[in-house]
Amino acid sequence: MEICELTAHELAGRLQAREVSAEEATQACLDRIAETDAELGAYLTVTADLALEQARAVDSRRRAGEALPAVAGVPVAIKDVLCTRGVRTTCASRILENFVPPYDAAAVERCNEAGLPMIGKTNMDEFAMGSSTENSAFKVTRNPRAIDRVPGGSSGGSAAAVAGNEAFWALGSDTGGSIRQPASLCGLVGIKPTYGRVSRYGLIAYASSLDQVGPLTKDVRDAALLLGVIAGHDGRDSTSADLPVPDYVAELEKGVQGLKAGVPAQLLGQGIDPAVRDCVLAAVDRLVALGLEVEETQMPHIDYSLPVYYILAPAEAASNLARYDGVRYGHRTAKPVSDIYDMFAKTRSEGFGPEVRLRIMLGTYALSAGYYDAYYLKALRVRTLIKRNFDEAWQKYDVLLSPTSPTVAFKVGEKADDPLQMKLADICTIPINLAGIPAASVPCGEVDGLPVGLQIMGRPFQEDVILRVAYACEQTMSG
Ligand code: GLN
């Protein structure tokens, strides 16, 4: 097996045993990128020199006998939505094409502290708006499992990098499914942590009440490790939770015996490909055989998730994206302008792609006088009802199970001109962001040779329980 095909924890073991150096592992990733990324399109920026320098630093500390974090030396890819000091951070948008942040995002800082060399910045849908990575201003990313198909989105570059062995693991962000859906479509594990579990400091904002940073990995153990690296309190994010971070790896093998799961009927019905549903239900049966208690449950307000999300997320985006005005940083029009308003208008119409413009318009409309009560305020109220459905479910269940994505990976171009179909891709993942709870996607089978993901949702701050169930599911796959 080639080095770049190892999981992160396998590589960590070899690094600790000094069978491989961090520099060799980093070089192996860079070689793979040179071979395959012209076709895959996972990276927007490859930081080869920086990664090799970080790797050599880890190697020399290890040689000196320093006590290092267990994962030190395992290269990581970072979604281009996270600020990286001195390294171009574009959010896959023309408006930030030449933006070089003066600081690191908190999650990036934690990766640095853990000794993870940064391989590069990955492609995404512009400002994380999309489900296929086709909305990038720069390029389309392809699915390593089937090159004519999308990797999902918006963290499609991170997913493709890991699934294509161009990185050992990666960070993504998830506002409505952007970690879990690409994980599902590329056959990876992805976790959207509880809102507040991982600092959003330095995460370029899309919809601030929904955004979270999380890992995309080759297996569940890697997800537990990387979540452990990035989770924890940070005073620079006012919504960061000041709670202890458990040892996620230590919990993995506890099994599912004694746990109770609900399967919401609302996430198995209309719009879910019957073959995907059968594959997910077969995985649920395998978990039952391991001792998980399962029953179907009703969560009626979940049905309103998509319309609620597509009012709240654009409303927050319209407000967040107001800062891109060509004055302080980012693109400014080179065309002649008549006054400052003309400068704003030209800058923003040149800088933002069609999907971003659409969402700014939708959000501005939902927030405007006369419509605020009818749309924004009503959506907030229904969000509370959805959250209550989950609060009630936690009285009975430790986890909830569903498909992650209603379909397997679709073809590049297949849904690009059909905004409704594209938005339906998030039908199972969006309720989780609205409720602020954690959820993972774990590979649970295949349909037509393409990966299917099982979504495991859990109580706030119980990522450890989710990981336990995910680990059990993974065992049933390899066994
Ligand atoms: N696809 C959803 C959207 O376009 C979710 C994206 C995300 O989670 N960032 O808004």
CA distance readout (Å), 76 to 114, 250, 267, 344: 11, 22, 33, 37
Whether the per-residue pLDDT at 135 is higher than 90: the answer is yes
Q: How many domains does the chain have?
A: 1
The arithmetic mean of pLDDT across residues 200-229, rounded, is 98
Whether the per-residue pLDDT at 416 is higher than 60: the answer is yes
The arithmetic mean of pLDDT across residues 439-464, rounded, is 98
Distance in Å, CA 107 to ligand 1 centroid: 20
Q: What angle do CA 259, 427, 393 make, to 5 degrees?
A: 30
Whether the per-residue pLDDT at 324 is higher than 60: the answer is yes
Q: Closest residue (by CA) to atom 5 of ligand 1?
A: 176
- Does an H or E element contain 192, and which? strand 189-192
Could you tell me if residue 304 is inside a domain?
A: no
CB 236 within 8 Å of CB 103:
no
Tell me the C-alpha distance between 147 and 39, whole Å: 8
CA distance readout (Å), 285 to 93, 170, 250, 261, 290: 43, 31, 25, 12, 9
Catalytic residue among 131, 178, 199, 405: 178
Percent of the chain with pLDDT over 90: 96
Per the structure, the complete domain to which residue 30 belongs is given by 3-252
Residue with tokens 């961090």: 22
Q: Determine the pLDDT at residue 322.
A: 97
CB 89 within 8 Å of CB 96:
yes
pLDDT digits (tens, 9 = 90+) for 336-356: 999 999 999 999 999 999 999
Could you tell me if residue 428 is inside a domain?
A: no
Length of the chain: 479
- Residue 150: pLDDT band with limits 50, 70, 90: very high
Could you tell me if residue 262 is inside a domain?
A: no
Could you tell me if residue 189 is inside a domain?
A: yes
CA 192, distance to chain mean position in Å, is 6
For residue 260, indicate whether it is catalytic: no
CB 80 within 8 Å of CB 100:
no
The arithmetic mean of pLDDT across residues 47-75, rounded, is 98
Q: Is residue 154 reached through a cis peptide bond, with omega within 30 degrees of 0 on the bond before it?
A: yes
Could you tell me if residue 185 is inside a domain?
A: yes
Could you tell me if residue 97 is inside a domain?
A: yes
Q: Determine the pLDDT at residue 420.
A: 86
Could you tell me if residue 355 is inside a domain?
A: no
DSSP labels, 422-460: HHHTTTTTHHHHHHT--EEEEEEEEETTEEEEEEEEEST
Taking the CA of residue 174 as reference, the ligand 1 atom at the shortest distance is 8
DSSP 245: P
CA distance readout (Å), 227 to 49, 217, 405, 446, 476: 26, 10, 22, 26, 23
Residue 188: CA atoms inside 13 Å, Cβ hemisphere, count? 42
For residue 178, indicate whether it is catalytic: yes
Could you tell me if residue 68 is inside a domain?
A: yes
> What residues contact residue 422 under an 8 Å CB cut-off, 6+ apart?
130, 131, 132, 415, 416
Across the chain, what does the average pLDDT equal?
A: 97
pLDDT digits (tens, 9 = 90+) for 182-201: 999 999 999 999 999 999 99
Q: Determine the pLDDT at residue 83.
A: 98
- Residue 220: pLDDT band with limits 50, 70, 90: very high
The arithmetic mean of pLDDT across residues 284-289, rounded, is 98
Whether the per-residue pLDDT at 479 is higher than 70: the answer is no
Helix axes 220-230, 106-113, angle to 10 degrees: 110
DSSP labels, 344-410: HHHHHHHHS-HHHHHHHHHHHHHHSTTTIIIIIIHHHHHHHHHHHHHHHHHHH-SEEEEESSSSSPP
Quick one: tokens of 39?
């076709």
CA 266, distance to chain mean position in Å, is 23
Indicate the top mutation candidate among 125, 135, 213, 421 to test ligand 1's pocket, ranked by most ligand atoms within 8 A of CB. Answer: 125
Q: Determine the pLDDT at residue 270.
A: 84
Q: Determine the pLDDT at residue 419.
A: 85
CB-defined site of ligand 1, < 6 Å: 128-131, 154, 174-178, 206, 313, 426
CB 106 within 8 Å of CB 83:
no
CATH number of the domain at 153, please: 3.90.1300.10
Q: Determine the pLDDT at residue 301.
A: 97
Q: Determine the pLDDT at residue 94.
A: 98
Closest by CA to 433, choosing from 183, 202, 173, 234, is 173
